[in-house]
Structure 1
Amino acid sequence: MDAKKIEDIARQINDSIPAGIKDLAGSFEQRVKTILQQQLGKLDVVTREELDVQQQLLLRLRQRVEQLERDLAAMQKPE
């Protein structure tokens, strides 16, 4: 997950806490950010860019397999 998104989530959580409690928490936003990063790091996720690259590779492989199947079928046709 994007570091900016994590910061935004941490900020939103921090902003929803009443002022008195914020004073007690001190660096609550940083704690939330650290915990989010730790927990998200445990997940088996990929970035959108990585997914897009893998989809493009898969598309090219699929096209290549289809071409090879057509070539094979053409070679197997009796002449």
Structure 2
Amino acid sequence: MLSQKLFDEISAKISETIAASPAKDIEKNVKAMMAATFARMDLVTREEFDVQQEVLARTREQLAGLEARLSALEAASAPAPGSPEEQANLGLS
């Protein structure tokens, strides 16, 4: 436990030193500069990204369903093999 207490004391002293040093001002200035840069960039929030990801997933599901439905309709409307309609389409009549 002595080592944990010593570690905590050293950590507190380092934090106090950094808070009183110019490093704290530099950190604050860098954060402000980065925030301004990010504000100028056309970035989206995580929430907006997640919403768009859900929309895309639903759209993909709908597309897969429509593709399956189209395939079924095409198969149902295709002439049977050997039928006069198919032979006419192939120029065999």
Specify if TM > 0.5. yes
User: Which residue identity lines up with residue 54 of structure 1 in the other structure?
Assistant: Q
Aligned to 1:71: 69
Larger Rg: 2
Distance 1:72 1:37, change over 3 A: same
* 2:51 aligned with 1:50: no
User: Which residue identity lines up with residue 49 of structure 1 in the other structure?
Assistant: E
Structure 2 length-normalised TM:
0.50
Which segments of structure 1 move beyond 4 Å, counting only runs of 4 or more? 15-18
Q: In structure 1, what is the Cα distance between the partners aligned to 2:21 and 2:49? A: 43
RMSD: 3.0
Partner SS state of residue 43, structure 2:
coil
Moved more, 32-41 or 53-62: 32-41
Please give the residue correspondences for 1:1-79 in structure 2 after superposition, counting only pairs within 5 Å: 17=18, 19-21=20-22, 29=28, 31-78=29-76
User: Which residue identity lines up with residue 69 of structure 1 in the other structure?
Assistant: E
Q: In structure 2, what is the Cα distance between the partners aligned to 1:62 and 1:69? A: 10
Aligned to 1:4: none
The one of the two structures with greater contact order (alpha-carbon pairs below 8 A, sep at least 6) is 1
Q: Which consecutive residues of structure 1, in runs of 5 or more, have no partner in the other structure?
A: 1-14
Structure 1 length-normalised TM:
0.58
- Residue 35 (structure 1) shift: 2.0
